[in-house]
Amino acid sequence: MNRLILSIESSCDDSSIAITDVDTLELIYHKKISQELEHSVYGGVVPELASRLHAEALPKILSECEEWFSKLVAIAVTSTPGLAVTLIEGVMMAKALSIALDIPLIGVNHLKGHIYSLFIEKETVFPLTTLLVSGGHTQVIEVKSLDEMEVVASSMDDSFGESFDKVAKMMGLGYPGGPLIEKLAHDGDRTKYNFTIPLSQSPKIAFSYSGLKNAVRLAVEKGSESDHKDIAASFEHIASAHITQKLKKYFKKVKPINFAIVGGASANLYLRTQIEELIKPHNSKLFLSELKYCSDNAAMIGRVAVDMYHKKQFTPLDELTSSSRSPL
């Protein structure tokens, strides 16, 4: 008899549910309803709107999962970090299911989820150094195991993905900005605007995007719409060069056997190519999530939950809360 885990993700603007087989890792069911269109007119995620859309979408997806209810052995849910008003939608659903089906809860850290997006329907590979680039985070994380993860570098202000969202908003392109800027940059001249690489004089391995964002804002204000593709290309180039410059410093100190890029913004092909070039001489093995699992989804939450289930890491009902900010 199959043992299955149902997992729920609602930390931002994607409503998603997955069902994963605890023993074979098979992803039995996976669905995601994105709210990009609804938020696009505002140039970013509106938390209250996102919360209301989760309240509509999650029950709709759940109704497709009833045939597996009798085989469920746990309910997993993203509990942190994320938007407080959207996390609570998933957490409430998870609690209701846990009580109704009398099975344990597993509260999952969303960042661990992004790391485990590498291992959907696969065995884990550790140790692993991970670059996490998403809308909320730009971090380098050293991963030894499920429970031993250390953030060794992070952003001091905006994240990589967020800076794409803000630049897209400045250009009136909509949301999410990452894919829109990447597309626009494709035909642009990467050398046209000589933006400064952030923190290039600092020995610290850390990230910062607010200065670059402001430099881009000035260029957008000064130029016309016909300049946007060159601004986008130059911005994408410098935003990525900032990461590769800091990773170069990291690789001088540490020689990771395995290196991975995860998170929604890891879908950026220019960044991927730059990092591939960077790690070539170091003989590290590069791991990338499948494109469909880069952005937020419940399959990655379910994959973490399988490992937590085997370690009996359950969360008591009254201890499962949604928390907007929480370290790994």
Kindly state whether residue 134 participates in binding Zn ion, applying the rule CB under 5 A.
yes
Give the Cα separation of 202 and 170 in Å (integer).
28
Binding to ligand KG4 in span 219-278, by CB under 6 A:
263-265, 267-268
User: What distances in angstroms separate CA 198 from CA 46, 88, 158, 213, 221, one per listed residue?
Assistant: 29, 36, 12, 10, 21
Q: Is the dihedral of CA 306, 310, 316, 322 positive or negative?
A: negative
Binding at 165: pick from Zn ion, ligand KG4, none (beta carbon under 5-8 Å per type) = ligand KG4
Closer residue to ligand KG4 in complex, CB, 93/267: 267
CA distance 5 to 189: 48
Minimum Å gap between C-beta 257 and ligand KG4 is: 25
- Determine which residue in the list 5, 12, 76, 141 makes contact with ligand KG4, applying CB under 6 A: 12
Pattern of binders to ligand KG4 over 168-197, x per CB under 6 A?
--------xxxx--x---------------
AA identity, residue 90: G
Smallest distance, ligand KG4 to C-beta of residue 109, A:
12
Would you say 10 or 315 has its CB closer to Zn ion?
Answer: 10
Q: Does 44 bind ligand KG4 (CB under 6 A)?
A: no
CB atoms within 10 A of CB 121: 13
Omega prior to 256 cis, within 30 of 0: no
The 3-state DSSP composition of the chain as helix, strand, coil percent (nearest 5) reads: 45, 20, 30
- Asked whether 286 and 260 are in contact (CB, 8 A), the reply is yes
Tokens 């130029």 sit at which residue?
A: 223
Confirm or reject binding of residue 322 to ligand KG4 (CB under 6 A): no
Q: Could you give the string, one character per residue 281-310, with x where binding to Zn ion holds by CB under 5 A and - elsewhere?
A: ---------------x--------------
162 binds ligand KG4 (CB under 6 A): yes
Q: Which one, 129 or 134, has the nearer CB to Zn ion?
A: 134
Q: Quote the least distance from Cβ 183 to ligand KG4, whole Å.
A: 8
Task: Identify the residue among 90, 135, 174, 302 touching ligand KG4 (CB under 6 A).
Answer: 135
Site of interaction with ligand KG4 (CB under 6 A): 12, 134-136, 161-162, 164-165, 176-179, 182, 263-265, 267-268, 295-296
Site of interaction with Zn ion (CB under 5 A): 134, 296
